[in-house]
Amino acid sequence: MVSERVFHDAVTGDLSDALSLIDAARGAYQKALSEGLSLAYIAEQSGRPQYWFAANILHVVEVLGQPPGETAHHVLAREIIAGLKLADDMLVMISDDSQPAFADLRVTSAEFERYMAWARTVY
């Protein structure tokens, strides 16, 4: 159960510069296409390139999410998301019983730039 897991510190700062995970995935895909990055080709092979980028972002940089009933965002550590799945609409992380575990998934601008820097190193 997600509520039994240990969260990283809650993020209480201003998230106005943060992108939704969907927007980050869309932006990463567009940049990868325009820069001719191999990740664009890999993502296209999945048949759902924006979803592929969203799922990949979750595993490469820090993504923030809100547990149900909370207002604070938490960093979704790898040990937390390991047992969760990104919903098809990319809006929430869901548990094995298909219940929302985290909503309002966000990527800060700094983490998005860090992701793109990493993406440029993949061949």
pTM assigned to the model: 0.86
105's enclosing H/E stretch is strand 100-107
SS3 assignment, position 85: strand
Is 1 part of any domain? no
**Domain containing residue 37:** 17-119
Is 2 part of any domain? no
Is 10 part of any domain? no
pLDDT tens by residue, 22-78 = 999 999 999 999 999 999 999 999 999 999 999 999 999 999 999 999 989 999 988
pLDDT tens by residue, 21-34 = 999 999 999 999 99
Is 4 part of any domain? no
Is 60 part of any domain? yes
Is 5 part of any domain? no
Is 49 part of any domain? yes
If we measure between CA atoms, which residue out of 16, 20, 5, 3 comes closest to residue 65? 20
Q: Please name every residue paired with 106 in a beta bridge, in sequence order, or none if there are none.
A: 20, 64
Task: State the total domains in the chain.
Answer: 1
